[in-house]
Amino acid sequence: MNHDNYPNDYIRGILNSVKTIALVGASQNPARPSWIVTKYLLERGYDVIPINPGLAGGELLGKKVYASLKDVPFPIDMVEIFRNSEAAGPITDEALALDPLPKVLWMQLSVRNDAAAAKAEAKGLKVVMDRCPKIEFGRLSGEISWQGVNSRMISSKKPVLSGKGFQKLSLNRP
Amino acid sequence: MTDRLPGFNTLAIHAGAAPDAATGARATPIYQTTSFVFDDVDHAASLFGLQAFGNIYSRIGNPTCAVLEERVAALEGGTAALAVASGHAAEFLVFHTLLQPGDEFIAAKQLYGGSINQFNHSYKNFGWNVAWANADDPSSFEAAITPKTKAIFVESIANPGGVIVDLQAIAAIAKKHRIPFIVDNTMATPYLIKPFEHGADIIVHSATKFLGGHGNSIGGVIVDGGSFNFAGDDRYPMLSKPRPEYGGMVLGETFGNFGFAIACRVLGLRDLGPALSPFNAFLILNGIETLPLRMQRHADNTLAVAEHLSTHNKVSWVSYPGLRDDRYHNLAKQYCPKGAGAVFTFGLKGGYEAGVKLVSNLKLFSHLANIGDTRSLVIHPASTTHRQLSDEQKTQAGAGPEVVRLSVGLEDKEDLIDDLNQALDAA
């Protein structure tokens, strides 16, 4: 995978196929991007599992917080790393020690670790780096266009309402 | 569509404008509403907390205006944009986001007279201090930099004099000193010049002019190039510090490479209020659909008119960079090979009186204070747009007493030349 430029179908495929997302570096501060992304993904129907040793045992946005990936007692589809690029290395190692393996390793906007990505890809995981799943969801669905952001998407087909209200759009835009 | 970036003509028609999700309406609807119903209480909280994308209130954002925003962002190659009530409002919100009281910015002295007034006088009330530099001498920008300098501002093609600015040279200075480089691209439009490709960080437009193009709507646009890293930069607290308005959110961090556009919206537009009407956004969008066709015709007509005037015996000089012997011709070939815009000035041998007579005698050119209309326009800057400037400032801005400015429209060029001939004969 060319990690400088992901095809839209690659990102859409990932966001359509995963259900359980372990978010490493979860925060209980509503002003932090990790809290915002957790909330947004929960609202879009993903089962987000917050990972943060300092908050372990407690609840965040109604979800139980775990100290580390290995403590999660059920399979994880996607690990999203909300830490710095260096920390992404050991977190990737933890993710690759899971059984069953996650299908996707996603590093947040500004986080990039090519060595870790290569390890994960060698084990068959799909990898995304330096992207925000909330921004990508907003871009591919068309929601982000309401904020004047250049979605780099044009289409003569209408966006699809997600069925949960007037202001949520589905990823499955024709 | 594949992921390949569509061409300029395609973007001018389609960017931002999918069919309406609720009704399938193909033309962009005019969402003439102040407010938008929330899905539920939690959804409302998410919107107010900037945690979800969506619409709240048309002062902060409106779906018709949003199409215009994405359209211009796509045409300029930016990450995001913000549509506002006028070009002046666009400049105001940009500086409001970048400057604190006591800060300085550097501007080219070759600017639209309204911007010169805004910078020299109105901005003083906010403690924002302009330092003037010479667009013809990029080193003058470097010489004006102080520790308080927070921005550099130029026009790509300067109004009214047909000045082509060496964007790359000034961008290099801005980059070296880590100062955001703002380019007003009103006169060129992205069809002729794309400032982000030459090192601009932020672009502003008066959409009133060539973007709208039909002389019917005032509007402005701010475009974020996504190239300046504000996060962690203490000089720009609106973007790098926790904002009390949003529970301590750091906008430059949360919104990444479109944080500047978001800050202009959620701090500037929300609190200062110069919102664009959805109806104006609709008209400007309609104009943009034909921008590539119109701009080429504007530029072709202008070159023909300028060439004709340069041989007329009552004309002492013509300042149009499209002319082969113009001092800016080489810069025009470098930055805008498709044409040097549609606005230029020329000098009358008869001076101020001849200028006044010419304006009175024209029958096809309209005498008014605008540019970038389908119709051809004329003005005598010394007695109108630039009259509040001192004589020295007038001359520096290319608006001396003998100067006449034309904005050449889309009529048949033979008719424009005939009209100028009869008016010059009578002047």
What CATH number should be reported for the domain holding residue B18? 3.40.640.10
B392 Cβ neighbours under 8 A, 6+ residues apart: none
Contact B66 A147 (CB under 8 A): yes
Of B263, B287, B311, which residue sits at a domain end?
A: B287
C-alpha dist (Å) from residue A134 to A15, A39, B230: 10, 10, 21
Contact A145 B61 (CB under 8 A): no
Place A171 in a pLDDT band, splitting at 50, 70 and 90: confident
**Burial readout B338-358 (b: 16 or more C-beta within 10 A, e: otherwise):** ebbbbbbbbbbebeeebbbbb
What are the structural domain ranges in chain A? 8-133
Compare CB distances from A146 to B66, B79, B247 and report the shortest one's residue: B66
Please compute the mean of the pLDDT values over residues B88-98 and round it to a whole number. Answer: 98
**Burial readout B142-155 (b: 16 or more C-beta within 10 A, e: otherwise):** bebbeeebbbbbbb
Contact A31 B1 (CB under 8 A): no
CA distance B267 to A3: 34
CB B377 within 8 A of CB B228: no
Same domain, B270 and B396: no
Contact A156 B19 (CB under 8 A): yes
C-alpha dist (Å) from residue A146 to A172, B56, B66: 18, 11, 5
B426: helix, strand or coil: helix
Contact A110 B69 (CB under 8 A): no
Same domain, B254 and B164: yes
Query: No. of H helices and E strands in chain B?
Result: 18, 14
Contact A158 B20 (CB under 8 A): yes
**DSSP3 helix / strand / coil % (chain A, rounded to 5):** 35, 15, 50
Q: Specify the pLDDT at position B333.
A: 98
pLDDT at B158 over 80: yes
Same domain, B297 and B279: no
Q: Find the largest Cα–Cα distance for chain B.
A: 73
Same domain, B60 and B198: yes
Q: Specify the pLDDT at position B2.
A: 55
The verdict on residue B186 lying in a domain is yes
Q: Which of B408, B406, B378, B416 is nearest to B300 (CA)?
A: B408
Same domain, B399 and B304: yes
The whole-angstrom distance between A164's CA and the closest CA on chain B is 8
Please compute the mean of the pLDDT values over residues B24-39 and round it to a whole number. Answer: 95
The number of folded domains in chain B is 2
The whole-angstrom distance between A34's CA and the closest CA on chain B is 9
Same domain, B61 and B100: yes
pLDDT at B91 over 70: yes
Q: How many other C-beta atoms are found inside a 10 Å radius of the C-beta of residue B279?
A: 13
The verdict on residue B253 lying in a domain is yes
Q: Which residues of A touch B28 (CB under 8 A)?
A: none
Please compute the mean of the pLDDT values over residues B16-30 and round it to a whole number. Answer: 94
* Structural tokens at position A150: 């250049």
Share of chain B above pLDDT 90, in %: 87
Q: Specify the pLDDT at position A165.
A: 75
The whole-angstrom distance between A99's CA and the closest CA on chain B is 33
Q: How many other C-beta atoms are found inside a 10 Å radius of the C-beta of residue B306?
A: 22
Residue of chain A minimizing CA distance to B10: A154
Please compute the mean of the pLDDT values over residues A97-124 and round it to a whole number. Answer: 97
Same domain, B236 and B99: yes
The verdict on residue B2 lying in a domain is no
Residue of chain B minimizing CA distance to A140: B3
Of B265, B287, B309, which residue sits at a domain end?
A: B287
Place B1 in a pLDDT band, splitting at 50, 70 and 90: very low
CA distance B91 to A75: 52
Query: For B277-332, how does the pLDDT look when each residue is reduced to its tens digit (9 = 90+)?
Result: 999 999 999 999 999 999 999 999 999 999 999 999 999 999 999 999 999 999 99
CA distance A154 to A142: 10
Please compute the mean of the pLDDT values over residues B329-340 and round it to a whole number. Answer: 98
The verdict on residue B236 lying in a domain is yes
Cβ pairs bridging A and B (under 8 Å): 130
Contact A143 B20 (CB under 8 A): no
CATH code for position B419:
3.90.1150.10
Query: For B209-259, how does the pLDDT look when each residue is reduced to its tens digit (9 = 90+)?
Result: 999 999 999 999 999 999 999 988 999 999 999 999 999 999 999 999 999
B93 Cβ neighbours under 8 A, 6+ residues apart: B82, B84, B222, B264, B268, B269, B272, B274
Q: Find the largest Cα–Cα distance for chain A.
A: 48
Same domain, B273 and B306: no
Query: For B192-210, how does the pLDDT look when each residue is reduced to its tens digit (9 = 90+)?
Result: 999 999 999 999 999 999 9
Contact B247 A110 (CB under 8 A): no
Domain span holding position B316: 292-426
The whole-angstrom distance between A30's CA and the closest CA on chain B is 8
Q: Which residues of B touch A163 (CB under 8 A)?
A: none
- Homologous superfamily of A8-133: NAD(P)-binding Rossmann-like Domain (3.40.50.720)
Of B230, B255, B287, which residue sits at a domain end?
A: B287
DSSP class of B249: B
Q: Which of A145, A157, A146, A133 is nearest to A16 (CA)?
A: A133
**A interface mutation test: which of B70, B79, B202, B221 has the most A CBs within 10 A?**
B70
Same domain, B64 and B209: yes
Helix (H) / strand (E) element for B237: namely helix B237-240
Global ipTM: 0.93
Same domain, B103 and B121: yes
Query: For B345-401, how does the pLDDT look when each residue is reduced to its tens digit (9 = 90+)?
Result: 999 999 889 998 999 999 999 999 899 999 999 998 888 877 877 888 787 777 788
The verdict on residue B1 lying in a domain is no
